[in-house]
Structure 1
């Protein structure tokens, strides 16, 4: 602790402790933590690389983690980053749409590459409908007006 002079009471020059907190070390630690989190946060976002189309719609509020179905540029289907053959898609979707779930099943985020054939995406949406999954949202990037 720092010592400061106390004057008076015929004791000139006597030193007493000062009650000030030095916050510089705390600020240094907080800045280091901020840098660590800024560097590691982008590494936590992982997934299937998909070139999403642009949209003017805003982001949705999420309470429960949705199931993500992705179609990459080659047309391969992924459910939560796990590849699924097209023949096994209906079986896997039936497992997701359990009878004890609420009306319409869990929320589904469908992400499809912009270069894919429209019919390919519609076949996946048809499988979702057949499985009883009604809460389907199409994912896009927020961008400027489409050409």
Structure 2
């Protein structure tokens, strides 16, 4: 073991301390990590939809997708904005025409599990008619075993 013995030169001077105490830094970083872990799920805004479970892997995405949600009452939302069923075809055609780079955007379809299959298929038919064929159905990531 090495000891820090006073030297004969420079009496009264102390050697500089070359250690850095990282414990406070680690404490602060752990607190920040916990804060972000708690607040991150709260930052997802949107229409509350009870999604079905799936074991599929998430998709890679380069541009912002078009999000269409159907809640338990059957109301249709396009990017968190409620849309009447009659106005849906025109809105989808506008979105398809305004696509960046000529390629239609990816569509994320979120539908409540209690909805009728025909209701969801009606929205998918309107998406297909508007030329939005890249549709991904969103589910919760908790797969059943």
The TM-score, its normalising length taken from structure 1, stands at: 0.82
Instruction: State the partner residue of 1:144.
Output: 144
The TM-score, its normalising length taken from structure 2, stands at: 0.83
Q: Is the 8 A contact 2:99 2:105 kept in 1?
A: no
Q: Is the 8 A contact 1:6 1:13 kept in 2?
A: no
Pairwise CA distance, 1:9: 3.8
Q: Which runs of 5+ in 2 are unaligned?
A: none
- Relative to structure 1, the CA distance from residue 59 to residue 8 in structure 2 (aligned partners, 3 Å threshold; closer, same or farther) is same
- Deviation by residue 1:105-142 (Cα, 9 ceiling, x = unmatched): 10001111111111111111111011111111111224
Moved over 4 A (4+): 10-14
Q: Which runs of 5+ in 1 are unaligned?
A: none
Note if 1:94 corresponds to 2:121.
no
State the superposition RMSD in angstroms: 2.4
User: Within 5 Å, which residues of 2 pair with 1:1-147?
Assistant: 5-9=4-8, 15-98=14-97, 101-102=100-101, 105-142=104-141, 143-144=143-144
Which piece of structure 1 moves more, 97-106 or 42-51? Answer: 97-106
- Deviation by residue 1:64-86 (Cα, 9 ceiling, x = unmatched): 22111011111100011110010
Q: Is the 8 A contact 1:105 1:132 kept in 2?
A: yes
